Structure 1
């Protein structure tokens, strides 16, 4: 997959050796919100350092532009953990910024 387009509010994250694009579309954010609760609360928890790993993975999963063939949610979550929070933090910052600022 090609790289993320910051002008579209996209972020990228390297998962299992692949660079994946996270696109915070309206539909993706609505799906994430249905799972994690109000996005403003998610943003507040992230700002306070209290965002749960499952919430972060849920946000990423719903914003995933094109999951690699055969990638399940469970495998995706394991790959995020394997990559470490240092790898996931820039994508999380970008998505949180887009949630707050919009496009």
Structure 2
């Protein structure tokens, strides 16, 4: 990862393979996530209602991931999230969802 996360841009850091990696919700990343997951407002509503699935969270994180460590796959990202526990990654998810709603 290069540099620190900028919370004003919705950036967040998650641990994968003993490395801190940046999640950056760029327009391109969010469009890719929306193409896979459906409308982002629906995703935010599901998250707010406690109905967002782990696979949806992994997909959102995957699309927002920048410069992942070599060899890190989407499956490994999912395993890292499961290993960390939902409580540990909830602040990261919250920051990304806030950025979806607030914009830049």
The alpha carbon displacement at 1:23 in A equals 0.3
TM-score, normalised by the number of residues in structure 1: 0.94
- In structure 2, stretches of 5+ residues that fail to align are none
Which segment is superposed worse, 16-25 or 56-65? Answer: 16-25
Any gaps of 5 or more consecutive residues in structure 1? none
- The CA distance in 1 between the partners of 2:64 and 2:90, in whole Å, is 15
Q: Distance in 2 between matches of 1:49 and 1:100?
A: 17
* Count of residues in correspondence between the two structures: 103
Moved more, 81-90 or 10-19: 10-19
What is the TM-score with the length of structure 2 in the denominator?
0.93
Could you list the runs of 4 or more consecutive aligned residues of structure 1 that deviate by over 2 angstroms after TM superposition? none
Greater alpha carbon shift after TM alignment, 55-64 vs 73-82? 73-82
Question: 2: CA distance between counterparts of 1:44 and 1:76?
Answer: 23
Provide the C-alpha distance between the structure 2 equivalents of 1:93 and 1:5, rounded to a whole number of angstroms.
14
Residue 91 of structure 1 corresponds to which residue in structure 2? 92
Q: How does 1:30-45 map to 2 (within 5 A)?
A: 30-45=31-46
Partner of 1:61: 62
Q: C-alpha separation between the residues in 2 aligned to 1:9 and 1:95?
A: 6
Q: CA RMSD in A?
A: 1.0
